[in-house]
Structure 1
Amino acid sequence: MTHSLEQIAQLEHSKEFARLHQKFHQFNPLKVLRVDQFEIRHSNILAWLLDPNETHQLGSFFLKKLLTRLVMRAENEGKGDGIDFLSFLYSSFHDAEVSREVKTHTNRMIDLLVHVPSQKLVLVIENKFHAGESDGQLVDYLAYAKAEFQEPGYTVLPIFLTLASEEPSDDSYLLLGYEDVLEIIEQQLEFSKETTADAIYDFLSFYIEVLKEQLVHDAESVELALTVYDENKNAIDFLFLSQNDNFKKQAVYKSIYKQLAKLDESEKTALRKIYGAKKKTIDFVFNIGGNVIREAFLDFVKEADMPEEAYAAHIRFPHFILPDWSDFQETLGEPASAYWLGQAFIIWFERQVGERLKITVELGPIPYVERYRLLTELEKRDVSFQQSGKEEGKRYTKIYTAWTDVGEWASKQEVLKSMFVLYDAPELNDLFRKIAESVEVMEDATEEVEEVTESKLEKVLNKSTVPPIPKEAFDLFCAKHHIAEAERNYHWRNPSFVVPAFTRIEERYGMSRFDWWWHNGALLFWFDQLRDGRLKLILELGPLQGEDRVALIRELEMLGVTFKAVSKLRTAAYTRLYSNIKVIEDWQDAQQVAEEMTKLFQHPRHQELLAKIEAVSMASSDI
C-alpha cells in the first residue's frame, strides 16, 4: 500500500481539503442529533412549523407561505384550478390540526396531515427526503383523505415534498421542494429577526444550515471539491472505495478493489480510521469530483461543439442553450432576473427517480409583451404548454420535456449516450425549428418584412434532419456577387468567403497571427447551417497581431462601429461584427438557398457595416 499511503499523506497536506473539512465540521446541534440524516426527523420539524399553535410563536406564517409556494411553482400550473387559494391566504388558521404518521385503511402511514376545520381544508403531505415512492402509496393516501373528509365544501390538497423536486407518480399531487421550505424559513428570519425569540431563531438557523448542506452546494465548496479531486483523485478514490463496496461492478474501479483486497488487517484498520475521521469531506469530494452526470455533460458539450458561454456544468442540473439563441435577445429582450445563462430559453438535464434522465426546455422571464407574442407564435405551431403561461406575471413556462432510461448510471458513457438520445430526438429538433420560426416571424413583424407562410412552415417542420448547404447554392451566390474562386471556400456546413475590401485591409494590418480558417486574413464571412434549420451569415474579425488588431478596431470605432472592451485587448482573437439568420424552406432547392444567402448579405444593417469597412480599406490603400 506504499504508493497509496504516499498519496493519502499528500491529501492530508492539501490546504483545499483542510478548508473543506473545516466547512463541514462547524458545530450544529441538529447534526449531533443526526436530524440531517433521517426523513422522520425532518417530518417532525415540519409538523412543528405547520402548527400555528406550536412553541415557535410564528402563528400560521409557515403554513400560509407553503400554500403560496404551491401556487408559485410552475410544475403546479393547472393542478389547482378551481381552488380559491387567495381566500385561504387571508383566512385564520387558528384551529389547524397537524398529525404525524396517520394510518390509512390499508395500514400505510401518511407522513403529515394538516386539517383546518374552519376553512374545510386538508393537506396530505408525503415527505420524501431521500427515499423513493412505494407502489400505489400516493393513490392510497389521497383516497383515504377524500374518504375521511367527504363533507361538501372540503378541499383536499395532496402535496409531494421532495429534496430534489422529483415528480410524483400521481399527477394530482402538487409538487413542493425542500428548497421552498428553506426559502420560507430564511424569509421569516430575515424579516422577523427582532420579533423572533432567540432560542427559536437559533434553532431555525441551525436547520437552515442542515437544509443548505443537502440542497445548496455553494460555489466555494464545489470549487474546493473539484480542486481536491483533480489533485488527489487516487487518494480520494482509494479511501472512499475502501469503505464502500457498492461500486465493485464498475469497471473503472476494479483495479482499486483488487488492490484493497490484498491489504492486511492492520492496513485495513488504518484506512478505516482515516476515512472515519474525514468521512463527510471525503464523501463530498468523491461525489462532486466523480459526479457522473456532470462528467457526461462535459463530454456532451464537447462532442456537440458548444462554446463555453452556452453551457454550465451544474452538478445536479447541467444546462445549455443552442449557441445562436443569444441572437434572439434583440427580438425577445433580456430576462427580468438572473435566469440561468441570461437568455430567453434554457435547456437542462436532470436525473429522475426510476433511473431516468430528463431533458426540459423552458421559456424564462422575458418582458411580457414579447413573452406573450412568442408563446402565441409557438402555440400556432402546436407547441403545447400550460395556458396560464400567457398570463401577465407568469415567469417560467416549460415547453418541452422528455425522458429516457439510463442503462447504468455508474457509466459515464451510458449517461452520455442517453443525453444524445434526448438531444437528437426528432421531436426536440422540431421544437428548435418552431422556436426559430416563431422568433423570425416576430423579427419580420418588427422590421416589416414579408411574413413566412404556413405552407413554408410545414415544409420546414416536416424535415427531421437538415441536409448539407448545397454547393450549387453557394456557387450561385458567389457568381451573383462576383466572388472569385480564390476568394471563397466551400464546406458542406460552413462555406466562407472574403471581399476585395478585406484584401486591402490586410495590406496594411497584416494576416492573422495563427492559422484561421483557410484564409488567415483579417476578416472573413461564412454561412452557418444551424441545428434548428436556419441559415446564418457571420462576419468576424480574426486574430491579427495585437497592436494591428487594436489599431483596426480604433478606425472602425471612429466610423461608429461598436466593440466590447474585451475585444480591444491585444490578446483577443475573434470578434463577431455582424450576424443575421433566415429560415430555409427547402434545403434541396439550391436557387432558394442562394436567394436567402443574398437576402442576408444585402440586409441594410449589413451593408451599412460593410460600407464602413470599405471606407477603412480605401483609406488603407491610400497610405
Structure 2
Amino acid sequence: MRLVAELGPIEYENRLYFLNKLEKLGIPVKKSSKLEKARYTRFYTQKMDINKWDDLEELAQGMLELYNSSEFTLLRKQVASILKGKNPAKSIENGSLRNQAQTQKGNSAIYQAFRKWMELNGISPSNYRVTTRNVSFKIPLFDQFKEKLGETREKWWWHNGPFLFWMNFSNEELYFTLEIGPIEPIKRVQLMENLQEQGIHFNKRGLSPGAKYTRIYTKTVQTEGFNEDQFIETFEEIYKNRELQNILKTLELIYDKFRDD
C-alpha cells in the first residue's frame, strides 16, 4: 500500500510557486516538473507492506497509520503553511526531513530483516504482521492455546488469541514483548495462576479478573545504526534467550495440563 502526495495541473504560475516553496523546505523537485508543460508531480510517497489484502481490518489500520504518521503529518503542516503564504522555519523543517530520511532507512532495514528472520524460522506471512510502528508474530503453540481458551473478549491486535509476540522500534532501540491478551476472565485467571505457580514473573495485577493485558517477557535492545544482518542477529538472540525459552517450555507444560483437564 502506498500513500502519494501529488501536485496536479493547476495554473502554471501557482504551480511553479508551490514547487519552489517545496524546494526551499528541502523537498526535492525534478527540473522537468517546473516546465510549463508539466502536469503531475509527486512530492511525497510512503509505503506500507500489507500481508493480507483481503483483511479489511488490516487495510484500514494501514491507511490510518500512513495518514497519521509523523512524516505525513509534517508534510501536511508544510503544505498548509505554503497555502497560507507562510514560510516555515527552514532549519527546523530540514532537520525534520533528515530525521524522516533516517527513520525510513532504519525502518526499511527492520522490515526486511524481520521478514528474512521469519522465513529462516519457518513462520509464514499469515502468522506475522508488519506495520509502520511495530512487527508481531505468533507460533503454533499460541494457536493451540487459542483453540483451548478461545478468542479474546475484545479485538486484540490481528490474532485475537491468548498470546502474541510484538516488537516496537525507533531509530535507537527495539522493544520486544511476549504478552497475554484479554481472554475470558475465568480462563485468564486460571492461566495466570498456573504461570505464577510455575515461577513466571509478571505484574500482580495480571491475576485480577478485570485484567486485560499482561506482559510476561520484555527485552529492550539498543539498535542505533544497525544494518539488516545485525537486526536478524538481534532477533535471533532475543528469541533464543534462555529466560524466554524457559517461559515457552513452561507454556507447553501448562497447555498439556489444560488439554488433559
Instruction: Provide the rounded CA distance (Å) in 1 between the counterparts of 2:184 and 2:64.
Output: 35
* 1:291 alignment partner in structure 2: 108
* Corresponding residue for residue 253 of structure 2: 437
Q: Secondary structure at the match of 1:21?
A: strand
The reply on whether 1:21 has 2:5 as its aligned counterpart is: yes
Q: Is the 8 A contact 2:188 2:209 kept in 1?
A: no
Give yes or no for the alignment of 1:306 onto 2:149: no
1:374-385 matches, within 5 Å, as 374-385=191-202
Q: Does the CA contact (< 8 Å) of 2:142 and 2:164 recur in 1? A: no
- CA shift, 1:290, in A, is 5.5
Give the aligned partner of residue 395 of structure 1. Answer: 212
Report which of the two structures shows the higher radius of gyration computed on alpha carbons: 1
Q: Does 1:347 align with 2:130?
A: no
Native 8 Å contact 1:409 1:415 kept in 2: no
> What is the aligned partner in structure 1 of residue 139 from structure 2?
322
Map of 2:18 onto structure 1: none
- CA distance in structure 2 between the aligned counterparts of 1:293 and 1:316, rounded to whole angstroms: 11
Partner of 1:415: 231
Which of 425, 429, 438 is the aligned partner of 2:241? 425
Change (3 A) 1:397 1:325: same
Tell me if structure 2 keeps the 8 A contact 1:332–1:344: yes
Pair 1:395–1:422, CA change in 2 (3 A)? same
Tell me if 1:220 matches 2:63: yes
Q: Is the 8 A contact 1:293 1:316 kept in 2?
A: no
Deviation digits for residues 272-298 of structure 1 (CA, Å, limit 9, x no counterpart): xxxx9xx97xx58x8289622222111
Identity score, percent: 22
Specify the alignment match of 1:581 in structure 2.
Answer: none
Q: Supply the distance in 1 between the matched residues of 2:259 and 2:107 (Cα, whole angstroms).
A: 44
Summarize the Cα distance change of 1:333–1:218 in structure 2 as closer, same or farther, 3 Å threshold: closer
Taking a change above 3 Å as real, the CA distance of residues 222 and 435 of structure 1, as seen in their structure-2 partners, is same
1:333 corresponding residue in structure 2: 150
1:288-337 per-position Cα deviation (integer Å, ceiling 9, x unaligned) = 89622222111111111102221112232111111332121222111112
Q: What is the CA-CA distance between 1:374 and the residue it aligns to?
A: 0.6
Residues 338-371 of structure 1: CA distance to partner in whole angstroms, max 9, x if unpaired? 2122211011122368x33321110000001110
Contact 1:348 1:361 in 2 (8 A): yes
Which segments of structure 1 move beyond 6 Å, counting only runs of 4 or more? 221-224
Aligned-partner Cα distance in 2 for 1:312–1:288: 19
Aligned residues: 179
Q: Matches of 1:415 and 1:349 in 2, distance apart?
A: 12
After superposition, the C-alpha distances for 1:77-123 in whole angstroms (9 at most, x for unaligned) are xxxxxxxxxxxxxxxxxxxxxxxxxxxxxxxxxxxxxxxxxxxxxxx
Offset, 1:431: 0.6
Query: What are the ranges of 5 or more consecutive residues in structure 2 without an aligned counterpart?
Result: 8-59, 68-92
CA–CA distance in 2 between the matches of 1:301 and 1:320?
A: 9
**Structure 1: 5+ residue stretches without partners:** 1-15, 24-216, 225-275, 446-623
- CA deviation string 1:20-59 (max 9, x = no partner): 2159xxxxxxxxxxxxxxxxxxxxxxxxxxxxxxxxxxxx
CA–CA distance in 2 between the matches of 1:393 and 1:430?
27
Q: Shift of the alpha carbon at 1:223? A: 7.8
Q: Which amino acid in the other structure matches residue 246 of structure 2?
A: D
SS at 1:409's partner residue? coil
Name the amino acid aligned to 2:128. Y
**Aligned counterparts of 1:288 and 1:318: Cα–Cα separation in 2:** 16
Tell me how far apart the structure 2 counterparts of residues 332 and 288 of structure 1 sit (CA, whole Å).
40
Could you tell me which residue of structure 1 aligns to residue 50 of structure 2? none
Aligned to 1:239: none
Q: Deviations over 1:412-435 (max 9, x none)?
A: 111111111101111111111111
Quick one: which amino acid aligns to residue 365 of structure 1?
Answer: P
Q: Structure 2 CA distance, aligned partners of 1:221 and 1:396? A: 23
CA deviation after TM superposition for structure 1 residue 221, in Å: 7.2
Decide whether the 8 Å contact of 1:403 with 1:422 is kept in 2. Answer: no
Aligned partners of 1:403 and 1:356: how far apart in 2?
A: 7
Query: Equivalent residue of 1:291, what SS?
Result: helix
Q: Is contact 1:385–1:397 with CA below 8 Å preserved after alignment?
A: yes
**Contact persistence 1:357–1:403 (CA under 8 A):** yes
* Aligned partner of 2:203 among 382, 386, 408: 386
C-alpha offsets along residues 370-410 of structure 1, whole Å, 9 cap, x if unaligned?
Answer: 1011111111110011111111211001111123343x534
* 1:362 and 2:179 aligned: yes
Q: Which amino acid aligns with 1:349?
A: M
Contact 1:293/1:415 (CA < 8 Å) preserved in 2? yes
When the two structures are superposed, what TM-score results if normalisation uses the length of structure 2?
0.60
Please tell me whether the aligned partners of residues 294 and 315 of structure 1 are also in contact (alpha carbons under 8 angstroms).
no
1:83-122 correspondence to structure 2 within 5 Å:
none
- Structure 1 CA distance for aligned equivalents of residues 252 and 132 of structure 2: 29
Which residues in structure 2 correspond to 1:46-57 (within 5 Å)? none
Q: Residues 174 and 220 of structure 2 are in contact (CA less than 8 Å); yes or no, is this contact kept in structure 1?
A: yes
2:21 — aligned with what?
none
